Amino acid sequence: MKKIAIMPCNGVGRVVSTIIRESAYKIHSLRPDATILISSPDLAADNPDALLNAKKYPLIIIDGCKPRCGSNIVKTKGIKPVLEIYAPLVCADKKIPLSGETRVKLGVKGTWLAEAITEIAVQAIDDILSNKIPTIQENLPFKVYMDKEKMLSSL
């Protein structure tokens, strides 16, 4: 079966990191046979399995904050993701304020953002696995990095 690799932000100390991890687990639970999760610390540390999977499968990065650590880790490894989802843009696009949310237990707003990110990623995964470029419209909060042929050839 075709697979898509998902690499979520693994930051600590920010509520958005917790939101991204929740979203990644939800994505994987909704598409368990079609996705593989990659740990950004494993990739940064050159873990052989993480490197192999990040290069073998089309890769979706979910970044949580401005440093965009996930995207930067991948870039330093010479890997081009097929998609980058940037949580602050999803938050702005969906008009979800995160004030009052905590890292320990997500409230309604944090859960809402995790669901919005999950929805975007699952739609993109379904599109890619159906041999289509992810359905995007102007101003959607993620970028397509590869052209269709290159993306599909990596499946």
Q: Provide the residue ranges of all domains of the chain, joining segments of one domain with +.
A: 4-153
- Model pTM? 0.84
Contact between residue 7 and residue 61 where contact means Cβ atoms under 8 Å apart: yes
What's the token pair of residue 82? Answer: 């097929």
In degrees and rounded to multiples of 5, residue 77 shows phi and psi of -90, 0
The pLDDT value given to residue 101: 66
Q: What is the pLDDT of residue 54?
A: 94
Give the per-residue pLDDT at 154.
Answer: 60
Class (C level, CATH) for 4-153: alpha beta
18 close to 103: Cβ distance less than 8 angstroms: yes
Contact 69, 63 (CB under 8 A): yes
Q: Read off φ and ψ for residue 84, nearest 5 degrees.
A: -125, 125
Segments in the chain below pLDDT 50: 137-138
Residue keyed to tokens 């990110």: 117
